[in-house]
Amino acid sequence: MSVSKDDASLKSYCFFKTRIGWCGVVSSKKGVLRILIGLPSRERVIRKIRAEFGSGITKTHAKGNIADKIKRYFSGGKVSFKCALDWSFLSPFQQKVLKAAMKIPYGTVESYGSLAKKAGCPRGARAVGGALARNPFPLVVPCHRIVRGDGGLGGFSAGEGLELKKKLLKLEGVG
């Protein structure tokens, strides 16, 4: 993701612990910029946020709509993750793929190829995988629900990778 560190003062972050691990949310005036989930320590969350957004970013308390929804989700609740997202740094293709992925219902999976068709790129399963690998909004954009055409898990770049993807799918009653 290429978000400018120059205007870090316009961004804020919070972090919090869940059953699955530590999470963080970075926001701008336009909405959520980045969600980090399932990391092993709060230090790891802070390090990742500062590496991406610089040290001038403002820390806030882990209160608010999206943090509460993430906590509820990891406690087993079925949650609607509707919230304002800051799409400004994503390419039109990435936006199209991520918006298509947002429509995949809780407790279901879809293949990379199927999502590629829905995103208007019928032979673009690999390109879709690349866009999902850079998904800055895991859970809100449920990229963990995308699997290979043969039913294999495929990849997952959030948290600690495929182990987290397995936990998320199990939490939703899949697999």
pLDDT of residue 1: 47
**Considering the chain, what percentage of its residues have pLDDT values greater than 70?**
93
Question: Where residue 125 sits, what CATH number does that domain have?
Answer: 1.10.10.10
pLDDT of residue 2: 47
In a domain, 86, yes or no: no
Strands 21-28 and 31-39: antiparallel
- What's the average model confidence in pLDDT over 115-125? 93
Question: Where residue 49 sits, what CATH number does that domain have?
Answer: 3.30.160.70
Would you say residue 69 has pLDDT above 70? yes
Q: Which domain holds residue 152?
A: 92-171
Does one domain contain both 96 and 69? no
Band of residue 3 on the pLDDT scale cut at 50, 70, 90: low
Q: What is the mean pLDDT of the chain?
A: 90
The rounded distance, in Å, linking the Cα atoms of 152 and 146 is 10
- What's the average model confidence in pLDDT over 94-110? 96
- The amino acid occupying position 65 is N
In a domain, 84, yes or no: no
The rounded distance, in Å, linking the Cα atoms of 22 and 1 is 21
Q: Which residues are catalytic?
A: 143
Residue with tokens 């699955």: 20
Q: What is the DSSP letter of 128?
A: H
- What's the average model confidence in pLDDT over 3-22? 77
Would you say residue 159 has pLDDT above 60? yes
Would you say residue 134 has pLDDT above 80? yes
Does one domain contain both 160 and 100? yes
- What's the average model confidence in pLDDT over 134-156? 94
Identify the domain boundary among 46, 74, 102: 74
